[in-house]
Amino acid sequence: MRDLISLDLYPLDNPDSGGFQNLVETCRAALAKDGLFNLPGFVRQVALEQAVRELVPLFENHAFVHARRHNIYFRKNVEDLDAAHPALQEFETTNRTVCADQMEQAVVIQLYEWPPFADFLAKVMGKDRLFTMADSLARVNAMSYGDGEALNWHFDRSEFTTTLLLQAPEHGGDFEYDQDLRTDVDPNYGGVADLLEGRRTPTRLQLEPGTLNVFKGKNTAHRVTPTKGLRHRMIAVFSYFERPGVMFSDEERIGFYGRSV
């Protein structure tokens, strides 16, 4: 893994070292303060270029084009909200998705399946253990966004999301978020409406390729702005859970990937 990950900067392979403990504490502090942490240069440049080469033909020939209109909740109806409420306004999201079962032993699969990677994430998140997903489609996904395409406003279903930016677009494709816009007990529909109608200013990040991003998005609204130019924005998404054997339902697979197997 030393040829893939910058282990000199991020010693995931040496969990008993002072460097590892310092890294964990730094990431925990960033999560508590900002709701996310970034590790620039996590993947080495040569490995990053290889990852892109592996995925380009899959995006061109075998990807599922996922185009949909949705509101920030990804639900048609929300209890206690009138259908005309501004918190329920809809947006366009379009991307191409490649699933884990299409990647063989690509760079992103090697990273995902390396046990110290999950162990590190568990330490930072304060979990006893994290498990790779059993679902052969959903465990690792790669997404590509072309000119004018975007991932629009939403909340995540899971507690945290782990992504690796593989390629940045020529312009746009910025990550924006409004931290802790809601809580588990207060949906803050008024605040959501203010964000969507431009009365709240989200935080904007421009990430460099090779950056690992871990983000607590369940209660933080976020999006990726539309990309501009011929170069696509490419990102890998890694799914870990606190219990083994997690699978998507056939309905979820069809909704996300256009197929159940």
Q: What is the CATH number of the domain that holds 108?
A: 2.60.120.620
Alpha helices by DSSP H, listed for the chain, are 18-34, 45-61, 107-113, 115-125, 189-196, 250-257
Note the pLDDT of residue 260: 95
Q: Is residue 239 part of a domain?
A: yes
Say what percent of the chain tops pLDDT 90: 97
Q: Is residue 163 part of a domain?
A: yes
Q: Is residue 10 part of a domain?
A: no
Note the pLDDT of residue 14: 98
Q: Is residue 4 part of a domain?
A: no
Q: Would the pLDDT of 79 be above 90?
A: no
Note the pLDDT of residue 242: 95
Q: What would the pLDDT profile of 1-54 be if each residue is shown by its tens digit?
A: 999 999 999 999 999 999 999 999 999 999 999 999 999 999 999 999 999 999
Overall number of domains in the chain: 1
Residues 150-178, mean pLDDT to the nearest whole number:
95
Helix, strand, coil distribution of the chain in percent, nearest 5: 30, 25, 45
Q: Is residue 133 part of a domain?
A: yes
Residues 157-173, mean pLDDT to the nearest whole number:
95
Neighbours of 49 (CB within 10 A): 16
Range of the domain at 204: 18-257
Q: Would the pLDDT of 177 be above 90?
A: yes
Q: Is residue 9 part of a domain?
A: no
- Asked if 233 contacts 169 with a C-beta cutoff of 8 angstroms, the reply is yes
Q: Is residue 48 part of a domain?
A: yes
- Write the single-letter amino acid at 220: T
| Confidence bin at 225 (pLDDT 50/70/90) | very high
Q: Is residue 3 part of a domain?
A: no
Distance (Å, whole) CA 220 – CA 237? 18
